[in-house]
Amino acid sequence: MRIIVVGDGKVGHTLAENLASEAHDVVVVDRNEEKLRRCEETLDVMCVRGNGATVATLTEAGAEKADILIATTASDETNMLCCLIAKKLGTDYTIARVRDPEYNNSLNMLQRELGIDLTTNPERGTASEIARLLRFPFASNIDTFAKGRVEVVEFRAHENDAMVGLPLHQVNKKLRNLPQVLYAAVERGGQVFIPNGNFVIHPEDRVFVAADMVTITAYFRALGKNTLKVKNVMLLGGGRISYYLARMLTQMGIHVSMTEIDPKKASFLSEELPDVNVIFGDGTDQELLDQEGLNQMDAFVALSNRDEENLMTGMYAVKKGVPKVIVKNSHLAYADVISDMGLDCIISPKDITCSNILRYVRARDNATGTKVERLYKLVGGKAEAMEFIPRANDPYIGIPLKDLKVRPGTLIAVIVRKGQVIVPFGNDHIEAGDSVVVVACESGIADLNEVIRK
């Protein structure tokens, strides 16, 4: 597909990199000549210098023949205007990053009137991810598929976990009280494995399991991991993510404290969030954190604009014994190093936004096939979990999985049929209309026919 990316910032550059690697014809638009030069040197894309919200620039970028335009500049208004002009010029689909909370109530109307097919809000999306993690504090990450019926949960294995040290094919035979889940992926020492029946989980492995919500909950209860209930949370920083997250958590009945160093912003937050304890002060000051009862918190979430501050305060919270610590960090290349410091929950707004947009692009790219309904990056982007909806004429329909060829490095993790969640084995089969969750150690898979064949 021909895709125009307006804005060569962190999100725009990452999107262009991913889309180019999937063989799309990508055009990057930006005003900054130095950024574009670096982009041309590192990516297989075409670059156009100019204002993406003008007819001349979008015409030069080929908007009249483009399949998708993605506007990711720092200005919400510019992004929406880009989409409006692109649609008028003939672009099929448009995506805009819209971050300002003031647009929330009128977003549906703006999308309809401006011809925007998808809006994405990195801060709100990040807050939703964090809120879900705080509901299940035993997990490092949680992704949902099949309209919430299936969950893929990441956690770190410990030496006393019942399944550690056993080949996976023996787990359910020897541990009959342990609910049956599918072990979708394991990360060990920076390497990702799609485990087979002979695979053995070691202590400190990062394990991804998949099942329905009830089974997942019972599984972690049997392992003794879901005893913590989050009632008190402290947030570092009063930015947009903290604003959205505080509103979500108070609605969940969780008491929230928030530190903010800017006096005007602290005053604004106190007025907008009356149920939140807004603390005016430097949230990186250990003495302040101790005075405000950090060691009594069930969770600490570091959301300042500086990754270094988030890491340092996160490590201090771990040292003080806070059971659940989540840090915002944009450099997932260091995820393994950060994890070794005891910080397992790392959130990247950039990656969350890119995953949402890439999922939409892949669905449009494969609109007539077994399209990707949902897509999540796992293990810092080293693996992907994807949801497909098979069609009646797909060649693998009705054939037992044991009689099909499965692409190396992939796993049929879960099948959902008429609301029933199935952890598949060799005798199970796929029917048209099922929701099929696939885990793969590679990116770019866009069709279920690429994964399984007769």
Per-residue pLDDT averaged across 413-420, rounded?
Answer: 88
d(CA 249, CA 454): 48
Q: 93, 120, 147: which is the final residue of a domain? A: 120
- Residue 79: burial class (beta carbons within 10 Å; 0-12, 13-18, 19+): buried
- DSSP class of residue 306? -
Phi, psi angle pair for 309, to nearest 5°: -65, -40
Residue-level pLDDT at 26: 96
Identify whether 445 is part of a domain.
Answer: yes
**Is a pLDDT exceeding 80 seen at residue 395?**
yes
How far from chain centre, in Å, is Cα 189? Answer: 22
Nearest CA-CA partner of 178 in 191, 190, 168, 188 = 168
Does residue 378 share a domain with residue 286?
Answer: no
Identify whether 340 is part of a domain.
Answer: no
Identify whether 249 is part of a domain.
Answer: yes
Residue with tokens 């903290």: 242
Identify whether 197 is part of a domain.
Answer: no
CATH code for the domain of 303: 3.40.50.720
User: Within a 10 A sphere around the Cβ of 271, how many other Cβ atoms?
Assistant: 8
Nearest CA-CA partner of 59 in 70, 67, 48, 68 = 48
Per-residue pLDDT averaged across 373-391, rounded?
Answer: 80
Does residue 308 share a domain with residue 384?
Answer: no
Kindly state the tokens that stand for 181.
Answer: 């889940």
Does residue 7 share a domain with residue 76?
Answer: yes
Does residue 381 share a domain with residue 273?
Answer: no
Identify whether 131 is part of a domain.
Answer: no
Render 325-371 in DSSP notation, one character per residue. Answer: EEEE-S-GGGHHHHHHTT--EEE-HHHHHHHHHHHHHHHHHTTTSS-
User: Within a 10 A sphere around the Cβ of 157, how many other Cβ atoms?
Assistant: 19
AA letter at 404:
L
Identify whether 14 is part of a domain.
Answer: yes
Q: What is the pLDDT of residues 129-168, one digit of tens each?
A: 899 888 778 788 888 877 777 888 999 899 999 999 999 9
Identify whether 424 is part of a domain.
Answer: yes
Contact present, 225 and 157 (Cβ < 8 Å): no
Does residue 21 share a domain with residue 76?
Answer: yes
Q: 120, 144, 176: which is the final residue of a domain? A: 120
Most confident of 93-97, 124-128, 129-133: 93-97
Rg of the Cα trace of the chain?
A: 23
- The H-or-E segment that residue 271 falls in is helix 263-272
CATH code for the domain of 392: 3.30.70.1450
d(CA 414, CA 437): 5
d(CA 396, CA 274): 56
Does residue 383 share a domain with residue 316?
Answer: no
Does residue 114 share a domain with residue 18?
Answer: yes
Contact present, 447 and 375 (Cβ < 8 Å): no
Does residue 398 share a domain with residue 313?
Answer: no
Does residue 109 share a domain with residue 20?
Answer: yes
Does residue 112 share a domain with residue 15?
Answer: yes
Provide the pLDDT confidence category of residue 85 given band limits of 50, 70 and 90.
very high
What are the strands of the beta sheet with 206-212, ordered from one edge? Answer: 141-145, 150-156, 206-212, 182-188, 191-193
Domain that holds residue 372: 368-453
Q: What are the CA-CA distances from residue 19 to residues 15, 84, 374, 450 (Å)? A: 6, 22, 17, 18
Indicate the number of domains in the chain.
Answer: 3
**Is a pLDDT exceeding 80 seen at residue 227?**
no
Q: What is the pLDDT of residues 337-347, one digit of tens each?
A: 676 677 778 88
Sign of the Cα pseudo-torsion (220, 224, 229, 234, in order): negative
Contact present, 307 and 279 (Cβ < 8 Å): no
Q: What is the pLDDT of residues 352-375, one digit of tens each?
A: 888 888 878 876 765 445 566 777
Does residue 108 share a domain with residue 23?
Answer: yes
Identify whether 244 is part of a domain.
Answer: yes
Q: What are the CA-CA distances from residue 409 to residues 22, 53, 412, 439, 451 (Å)? A: 18, 42, 11, 8, 10
Contact present, 18 and 443 (Cβ < 8 Å): yes
Q: 60, 93, 120: which is the final residue of a domain? A: 120
- Residue 296: burial class (beta carbons within 10 Å; 0-12, 13-18, 19+): exposed
Q: What are the CA-CA distances from residue 48 to residues 128, 182, 256, 381 (Å)? A: 35, 47, 46, 29
Does residue 112 share a domain with residue 38?
Answer: yes
Pick the range with the lowest mean pLDDT from 71-75, 278-282, 383-387: 383-387
Kind of pairing between the strands at 150-156 and 191-193: unpaired
